[in-house]
Amino acid sequence: MSHSQGQHFLQIPGPSPVPERVMRAMDRQVIDHRGPTFQKLGQDVLAGCQLVFKTKQPVIIFPSSGTGAWEAAIVNTLSPGDKVLMCETGHFATLWQQMAKRFGLEVEFLPGDWRRGADAAAIEAKLAEDKTHSFKAVMVVHNETSTGATSRIGAIRKAIDNAKHPALFLVDTISSLGSVDFRHDEWGVDVTVSCSQKGLMLPPGLGFNAISEKARAAAKTNKMPRSYWDWEEMLKPNASGFFPYTPATTLLYGLQEALAMLQEEGLDQVFRRHHRLAAATRAAVRAWGLEVLCVEPSEYSPVLTAALMPEGHDADRFRKITLETCNLSLGTGLAKLAGKVFRIGHLGDCNEVVLLGALAGIERGLSAAGVPHKPGGVTAAIADLAGRNDVEATLAAE
């Protein structure tokens, strides 16, 4: 059966669909990246990024994927042999930990069950024990894209402060920025790592580091060799809107448009929309009789929902059948979750009808794949959305 008719539903947790407006904004000739038109674009996007990261400090934009931005955070702030504290929230935290080891860092990896966010109390206890301040950094993934659990970054900041520990705080917001509230300055984050293809609604290709004064000071004395990723090399030309090498001009045009869209909707409204869509998705998953992987309600991800398959049923077979039947792409289970979960992305340029279409596709796919489930997930999601809209309307009227 062909599955190329009609709209493709890209409901993976990133890359997320690129809005028409952003595509049109990128559909332009490249320009002289040393000229005055580029300078205006550079100044505009560098300033616009500060609003989304909620920082008055510089935001650095690399032509890279999120993994490159991870590397930039490490090589600018840490030295081989430094001890760092990380939390096993899932696959992406595990990969960042592997990268840290490759750079010669000594990682203490707090174990986790891949069903909740990072444990602020465990971080506080580890830091409180560390009287000699041997930990140079705490490194956490904000939204663990492999599991659908969002760590409480504000609570982790408090944990570091309670332990009176001077460690740098490095946070991966690769799948949360622009979808979940994040406050670089207020939460005392030293390096915020992010990328373009999720909440920012762009194609893959831009990596970000938002940095603090403390991180910049650490970069002046740390011993890790670096060249391409060096912040100071970037900050000098950035001060006047330029880049030290050829920037990804076309993606920067897209970024300018995406930032405008986020400002027009208003970040708080964007975050509320993500919460609403996530809650409706969980209502659908439960109505089908499936289990949501994340077990901590205060850590349910507004970005994606991972659903556990019934025992003996392969999630990837179901995903394949859903793609063939409904032209709908769902996220695969990663690493130890392979075959056990499927992930529903509800981030970025998503609205109620797109989500309900995707949920209808899932319900259809579950039937087509012979996965035991109860019907009614879509109905439950509609009821959930209607209930939430009523609450919001009441609040707005008060």
Q: Which of residues 174-193 bind ligand PLP (CB under 6 A)?
A: 174-175
Count of residues that interact with ligand PLP, criterion CB under 6 A: 12
Question: Binding of ligand PLP at residue 379 (CB under 6 A)?
Answer: no
Residue 319 corresponds to which amino acid? R
User: CB–CB of 346/281 below 8 Å?
Assistant: yes
Binding pattern to ligand PLP, positions 111-150, x when CB under 6 A? Answer: ------------------------------x---x-----
C-alpha–C-alpha distance, residues 335 and 70, integer Å: 20
Question: Binding of ligand PLP at residue 199 (CB under 6 A)?
Answer: no
Question: Binding of ligand PLP at residue 305 (CB under 6 A)?
Answer: no
- Which region, judged by CB under 6 A, interacts with ligand PLP, from 3-11, 127-135, 167-175, 274-282? 167-175
Question: Binding of ligand PLP at residue 92 (CB under 6 A)?
Answer: yes
Question: Binding of ligand PLP at residue 309 (CB under 6 A)?
Answer: no
Question: Binding of ligand PLP at residue 195 (CB under 6 A)?
Answer: yes
C-alpha–C-alpha distance, residues 29 and 24, integer Å: 12
Nearer residue to ligand PLP within complex by CB, 78 or 369: 78
C-alpha–C-alpha distance, residues 201 and 322, integer Å: 24
Nearer residue to ligand PLP within complex by CB, 212 or 301: 301
Nearer residue to ligand PLP within complex by CB, 174 or 191: 174
Helix, strand, coil percent values for the chain (each to nearest 5): 45, 15, 40
From candidates 39, 43, 65, 379, binder to ligand PLP by CB under 6 A: 65
From candidates 119, 172, 181, 299, binder to ligand PLP by CB under 6 A: 172
Question: Binding of ligand PLP at residue 332 (CB under 6 A)?
Answer: no
Q: Residue 378 has which token pair?
A: 């879509």
Q: Residue 308 has which token pair?
A: 């556990």
User: CB–CB of 100/58 below 8 Å?
Assistant: no
Where would I find the beta strands (DSSP E) of the chain? 9-11, 59-63, 83-87, 106-110, 135-141, 143-144, 149-150, 168-172, 191-195, 206-211, 291-292, 304-308, 328-330, 341-345
Question: Binding of ligand PLP at residue 262 (CB under 6 A)?
Answer: no
Question: Binding of ligand PLP at residue 66 (CB under 6 A)?
Answer: yes
**How many other CB atoms are found less than 10 A from the CB of residue 111?**
8
Q: Interface residues with ligand PLP (CB under 6 A)?
A: 14, 65-67, 92, 141, 145, 172, 174-175, 195, 204
